[in-house]
Chains A and B, each alone.
Chain A
Amino acid sequence: MHIVVCIKQVPDSAQIRVHPVTNTIMRQGVPTIINPYDLFSLETALRLRDEIGGAVTVLTMGPPSAEDALRKALTFGADRAVLLTDRFFAGSDTLATSYALSQAILKIGETWGAPDIIFAGKQTIDGDTAQVGPGIARRLELNQLTYISKVTRVDVEKRKIELERRAEGGTQVLASALPCLVTMLEGSAEIRRGSFVGALRAARAEITTWSAADAGITDLLKCGLRGSPTVVKRVFAPSPRAEKAKQVEVKPKSRETADDLIEALFEAKPAMQADLELLAAGL
């Protein structure tokens, strides 16, 4: 079985800083990580491979430094890694990204055999759109299976797959066919650590690096800024609330402080008391 996993290198958003004066994003020195959601997909792919056999190819589109993310994926146990990098891809929105990735997946198929399952992350933490996965599925005309909490069964011979999907208010138990595109739900599978031998292998591995041309992408109008229907017109920092919180004085007895707080709340929002009484009564 051949599985392709799309991963993205993202800035660790907990540490993103906005320039206090120019309001631009300061990426310098911000550590990068593999998009955390992608790890659930990667781990699921690795488990399927361990169980059924075959190979896992990780794919990313990004700057040359995205190699770090790929190497890490190799450390976890992926079998090979492809870096799609070209200045033509700069400024891609989700539509352009899904185009480039889908072309690269076709090329991966030609090179190492057609993939049976393509995994993407549920969403990224920088773009946070959850669109690239579905975009790839459409472009490759694959069955799209998102928000999957569990891949229950894969039958490579019969080209069948069974999974559980998180829906509003419940779980859908689905049967579908290979090849397909799957995005895994967070918490579905914790990423493994990778053995010492695996880590050594990853450190030494050659990473396949493709330009647009290498990946067989000839329609550059579909790539990068030019292939992106959306434009970001304005980036700005959220305006802070005018005044800070009012401190309720802490009395020696917690109960007194609590009563003061409640008094302050009811004073600020006179309707609150009635609302709470109704709620508390279960109405």
Chain B
Amino acid sequence: MVEKFDCIVVGAGMSGNAAAYTLAKKGLSVLQLERGEYSGSKNVQGAIMYADMLEKIIPDFRDDAPLERHLIEQRFWMMTENAHTGMHYRSDSFNEAAPNRYTIIRSQFDKWFSRKVREAGAILLTETTALELIFDAYGVCVGVRTDREGGIVHADVVVLAEGVNGLLGSRAGLRQPPKPETVALAVKEMHFLPQETIESRFNVKGDEGVVIEAVGAISQGMTGMGFIYSNKESLSVGIGCLVSDYAKAGETPYGLLEKFKAHPSVKPLLEGSEVKEYSAHLIPEGGYKAIPQLCGDGWVVVGDAAQLNNNVHREGSNLAMTSGRMAAEAIFQIKSRKEKMTKANLKRYPDAMEASFVMKDMRKYKDIPALLHTNSRNFFLTYPELVAKAMENFVRVDGTPKREKESATFAAFRKTRGLGGLVTDAFKLARAWR
């Protein structure tokens, strides 16, 4: 006999856990499937976790969630081969009672989240991969088939929280498989250092933490970004670029990471660290335009599987959690009214998303991916170089009159990109940003 649940959640990442927790808390019978050895065993994230979105799911998460450091400082670096121009924002206002952003280590955090999900009453089967969705004669999704012997299971609704690759969804034709131009491949290493060393290198104390995000020459002209996040006793160091670019540039992700780590601005921060854990993962970069249908008869899709990722602000986990929660709330409403899990009913979920920050933000930056993609050499090589030259000119004292320095700077800008180009780029960027 095939068992039936109210709901099957495929995946135990951020979005799947948010959905399964919310559903189980509301009393629905939930089966969650995870192909990894445990929740988080294969998940990769920088990782910054945004408190607000988790609070809406587990209000008292700070009591026992494994949090590394709360962030009090953000550094943006524009990098050339041997320099960086930076902007830092540090504020004591981030040292608040309930801090806004934390660094986390996904494997630990996911384990904790998963425990919460099980405590809420959901059943989790790990090392169990969902192979395909099962549809009835009317095209309604009625369950999934897994890779275990006798592994067919039914449910009123399936939540696809399977992450960026989304094999299940694409196999069923519910979405496009990710395209090389719309996914980034990020690689990451954990660099272990004594707590005191991290604190002195980053000028923080206690649980305070710092984030560095870096663009420029480190991505060799590709659309990409490097990052350094401070955890309690380690630094997460990584870099990611669009998959399509790697091939074109003949670069490997690991090669880029090596160069990033060797950069004179980065190297001293990592000095003496012990490297452990090397991981690679995809990030959806298609933006608003790549978001597929979010629901159908008997299914919804959430998180990275729905391409919900805000690349400008490096947000993904918060959108994943929010979409998981909203999908779960919609399902609960339908269930409590004893209605069917039809596409029309499930539309409450995309509607709620439209009304929330999620879709508003996604729409705001809808043109950025295309822009960065077509203009990547300028944004990632030319401009950082120009800015660095300007800074060097400005700072270096060598007896050149200041006026000459300024005109040299301006001439360099003009010469390299052409005045028209510069203005156009600035204009385009501003428009995309708005």
Contacts and interface: CB of A to CB of B under 8 A. Distances in A.
Interface stretch (B80-88, B122-130, B321-329, B401-409): B122-130
Interface string A38-80: 0000000000000000000000000000001000000000000
Nearest to A21: B194
Interface string B32-54: 00000110010000000000000
A160 interface: no
Contacts of B108: 28-29
B248 interface: no
B149 interface: yes
Contacts of B264: none
A199 B194 contact: no
Contacts of B153: 196
Interface in B137-153: 146, 148-153
A199 B192 contact: no
**Most-contacted residue by chain B among A26, A196, A197, A200 (CB, 10 A):** A196
Nearest to B145: A196
B192 A17 contact: yes
Contacts of B37: 31
Contacts of A28: 108
B42 to A, nearest CB: 11
B279 interface: no
Interface in A183-219: 193-197, 199-200, 203-204
Interface size class of B (residues with CB under 8 A): 20 to 34
A41 B153 CA distance: 31
B123 A197 contact: no
B274 A20 contact: yes
Nearest to B193: A20
A194 to B, nearest CB: 7
B3 interface: yes
Contacts of B125: 196, 199-200, 203
A68 B108 CA distance: 15
B47 to A, nearest CB: 13
Contacts of B123: 200, 203-204
Contacts of A15: 276
A69 B37 CA distance: 12
**Most-contacted residue by chain A among B3, B125, B146, B194 (CB, 10 A):** B125
A204 B274 CA distance: 41
A196 B128 contact: yes
A199 B123 CA distance: 10
Contacts of B308: none
A29 B150 contact: no
A26 B234 CA distance: 12
Nearest to B3: A200
A196 B150 contact: yes
Contacts of A68: 38
Interface of B: 3, 31, 37-38, 41, 105, 107-108, 123-125, 127-128, 146, 148-153, 192-194, 233, 274, 276
Interface string A159-200: 000000000000000000000000000000000011111011
Contacts of A29: 105, 107-108
A99 B124 CA distance: 35
A197 B107 contact: no
24 contacts: A15-B276, A17-B274, A17-B276, A29-B105, A29-B107, A29-B108, A31-B38, A31-B107, A193-B127, A193-B149, A195-B150, A196-B128, A196-B148, A196-B149, A196-B150, A196-B152, A196-B153, A199-B128, A200-B3, A200-B31, A200-B125, A203-B123, A203-B124, A204-B123
A29 B236 CA distance: 15
Contacts of B151: 195-196
Contacts of A19: 194
Contacts of A194: 148
Given A193-B127, A195-B149, 7 more contacts: A17-B192, A20-B194, A29-B107, A31-B107, A195-B150, A196-B152, A197-B150
A53 to B, nearest CB: 21
A68 B37 CA distance: 11
Interface string A6-41: 000000000101011100001011010000000000
A275 B108 CA distance: 53
B300 to A, nearest CB: 23
The 5 closest A-B pairs by CB, nearest first: A196-B151, A196-B148, A195-B149, A21-B194, A203-B123
Contacts of A200: 3, 31, 123, 125
Nearest to A22: B194
B307 to A, nearest CB: 30
A26 B150 CA distance: 40
Contacts of B41: 31
Contacts of A199: 125, 128, 148
A11 to B, nearest CB: 14
A17 B274 CA distance: 10
A193 B194 contact: no
Nearest to B148: A196
Contacts of A193: 127, 148-149
A17 B276 CA distance: 9
A198 to B, nearest CB: 8
Contacts of A17: 192, 274, 276
B148 A195 contact: yes
Contacts of A195: 148-151
Nearest to A194: B148
Nearest to B122: A203
B38 to A, nearest CB: 7
